[in-house]
Amino acid sequence: MKRLLVVWHTQFGATDQLARAAIAGARQAGGIEVDARRANEAGVDAVLDADGYLFAGSENFGGLAGTVKDFFERVYYPCEGRLEARPWTAIVCAGNDGSGALRDLDRIATGLRLRKAVPAFVYRSGIVARAHTVPAEALDRARDLGATIAAGIEAGLY
């Protein structure tokens, strides 16, 4: 069975809510395994064993959250040249921007020669460094994103 790896990190809980919605969407789509891991629990084996990826993290200081970067820094060179064209997408959780985190993800994924199969979802909360409840529309977008990449992997579209 094909496998989607979801890797995420959260500090204040918003990315967590979005990642869990995406995981639920991917599981509901059916037909593939969903390996859901916090960024600090994801490593080279999980990356190599997956057929596609959904990365989720916040934008901090104009770039990708450090814990997600740490994940990429650990897996990048061991995985380099071994993931050619595998599909990916992402969720970026931001206060008011998100473009810096997206740029970091695009750059890393390009280096790994991954293929961006579905455009990333950038959720801008307007709330900085505080816990809040993510609105239902944003959770729906995340759920749809998870379902879309899962269905595409299962169908061999990418």
Say how many C-beta atoms besides its own lie within 10 A of residue 154's C-beta.
18
Q: Does 11 sit near ligand FMN (CB under 6 A)?
A: yes
Structure tokens at 5: 């790896």
Rounded distance between C-alpha atoms, residue 35 and residue 37, angstroms:
6
Q: Does 105 sit near ligand FMN (CB under 6 A)?
A: no
Rounded distance between C-alpha atoms, residue 51 and residue 134, angstroms:
29
Q: Interface residues for ligand FMN in 39-98 (CB under 6 A)?
A: 58-62, 93-98
Comparing CB distances to ligand FMN, the nearer of 10 and 89 is 10
Determine the interface stretch with ligand FMN among 14-22, 27-35, 80-88, 114-122 (rule: CB under 6 A).
14-22
Q: Does 15 sit near ligand FMN (CB under 6 A)?
A: yes
Is 2 exposed, middle or buried (CB count within 10 Å of its CB: 0-12, 13-18, 19+)?
A: middle
Structure tokens at 91: 């969720």
Q: Does 152 sit near ligand FMN (CB under 6 A)?
A: no
Binding site for ligand FMN (CB under 6 A): 10-16, 58-62, 93-98, 125, 128-129
